[in-house]
Amino acid sequence: MSSTPVPGPLPGTPGKIIAVHLAYESRAAQRGRRPAAPSYFLKPSSSLGASGGTVERPEGTELLGFEGEIALVIGSPTRGVSPAEAWNHVAWVTASNDWGLYDLRANDRGSNVRNKGRDGYTPLGPRLIDARTVDPAALRVRTWLNGELVQEGETVGLIFPFAQIIADLSQHLTLETGDVILTGTPAGASVAVPGDVVEVEVDAPHLAGAPSSGRLTSRVIAGPGGFDPAVGSLPSVDDLQREEAWGSREAAGLPASAINPELRDKLLKAPVAGLSQQLRRRGLDNVSIDGVHATRPGTKLVGVARTLRFVPNREDLFRSHGGGYNAQKRAFDAVREGEVIVIEARGERDCGTLGDVLALRALARGAAGVVTDGGVRDYATVAGIDLPVFSQGPHPAVLGRKHVPWDGDLTIACGGATVQPGDVIVGDDDGVVVIPPAIAEEVADAALAQESEDAWIAQQVAAGHPVHGLFPMNAEWRARYEAATEAGP
């Protein structure tokens, strides 16, 4: 460990700062996804800061997120240790704030290099707690925003205990003396703006004297922007980033779903054929999920996409990823009200991609439906469940015949269409279309207007008029239609 003075309580500069993506049950529930194993990213030592310091939100950005966390400081070289001996390698515990600028997530999401690696984005302190004096399963982290308590989590609520995290990391790399591990944040992390003050404290409330790190204080200030597009990507945000930064759609000032009740009503009335026509008029030709049909004729599906991807079966990969709490089970356990699970099965119809148990789980979670370009097991039973399901049809085989459940919440291909989380999905007897959420209302309005025109045209044809000049309407027929519309019923 270097003897160079660093901000905060550490005696020297850590060789590396390792952060856990998601570790608390409360945060997983808030995000709607629960990882099967811990995953990590690195933060540079240049991001270190001290209590009482400032954190810059660059000009032209809006989503500076704070995350109160417990930081572990490694006390001795750690390589290949077991969970039972892992805590013996921790010297100190302290408070940290894992600041991040969600505006910069787009091109390195997961690595977090730009959005969490900025100078001052890892303040620690103000004091170190001797790890030998505390129980790692009985620590607490709390965060205050402008004096209001907004986060509180105890380590009893961890998905991955500290010992597991240390042991896992040590089987891949050497943790050196002075290295820092940021152990994840509980629910309640949100957004701060210039002028806000955020405080984080770690303590052991059940011990006599309640050992404490003291309050780690950061003040948010406005900083310079000036990002050069010729050098790298510019800051950008969308509603998904706003939801994740603020912690919920409601906190971000967004409707509870990308589909508000009024829009949902419109989409329920609008036929898929009409929506497809309007999308094509706007230059979107490749938005149909081809080859899928509802298990029950007459089914209407409206919801927001939640994605799941299967890869072709490979026996060794199925052994490692197909069993246990795999990506498929996690997706069905995490789906939220109004969401549609859209499954990429590569158009492989000779294998089931869900069955009655998972369909029931989706129904219990309030899902809007399921769309898969693969097959469905227990087809008759699934058809009897009050859940819209669109697929290539029935097949009795289980996943391992053709698929390995791999990952979710990412851009996928389903039935020849690209589907992103948050896209609007609408299905009926004519098929399923994918609508970019930004134009969903516009497309729905246009489709309903066209539907009104088509109904009037059908009346004229039924009355004996030829279709020439009427379908589509020429100027004369258009004038008749507008007059009839103005006259009302």
Q: Which residues are annotated as a binding site for Mg(2+)?
A: 378
Annotated binding site for substrate: 355-358, 377
Query: CB count, 10 Å around CB of 140?
Result: 20
Return the axis-axis angle of helices 356-364 and 327-334, rounded to nearest 10°. 30
* Calpha distance 162→90 (Å, rounded): 10
Provide the CA 53 distance to its chain's centre, in angstroms: 31
SS3 256: coil
Token pair, residue 87, equals: 């805590």
Cβ atoms 371, 341 nearer than 8 A: yes
SS3 323: coil
Among residues 209, 53, 40, 194, the alpha carbon closest in space to that of 122 is found at 53
Q: Tell the residue number behind the tokens 């789906």, with chain if given.
A: 335
Distances in Å between the alpha carbon of 187 and those of 35, 49, 68, 146?
Answer: 15, 23, 10, 18
* Calpha distance 307→340 (Å, rounded): 8
Omega of the bond prior to 126 within 30 degrees of 0, cis? yes
* Calpha distance 467→275 (Å, rounded): 23
Q: Is the dihedral of CA 440, 445, 451, 454 positive or negative?
A: negative
Token pair, residue 51, equals: 């209590």
If residue 245 lies in a helix (H) or strand (E), which one and from where to where?
Answer: helix 239-246
Residue 12 has φ and ψ, to the nearest 5°, of -160, 175
Distances in Å between the alpha carbon of 59 and those of 103, 108, 122, 225, 275?
Answer: 11, 20, 20, 4, 39
Cβ atoms 52, 217 nearer than 8 A: yes
Instruction: Kindly calculate the radius of gyration of the chain based on its CA atoms and give it in whole angstroms.
Output: 27
Annotated binding site: 355-358, 377-378
* Calpha distance 331→354 (Å, rounded): 11
Residues 320-328: contacts with CB within 8 Å, 24+ apart?
Answer: 321/404, 321/405, 321/406, 322/399, 322/400, 322/404, 322/405, 324/36, 325/36, 326/36, 326/405, 327/36, 327/405, 327/406, 327/407, 327/408, 328/353, 328/354, 328/358, 328/399, 328/405
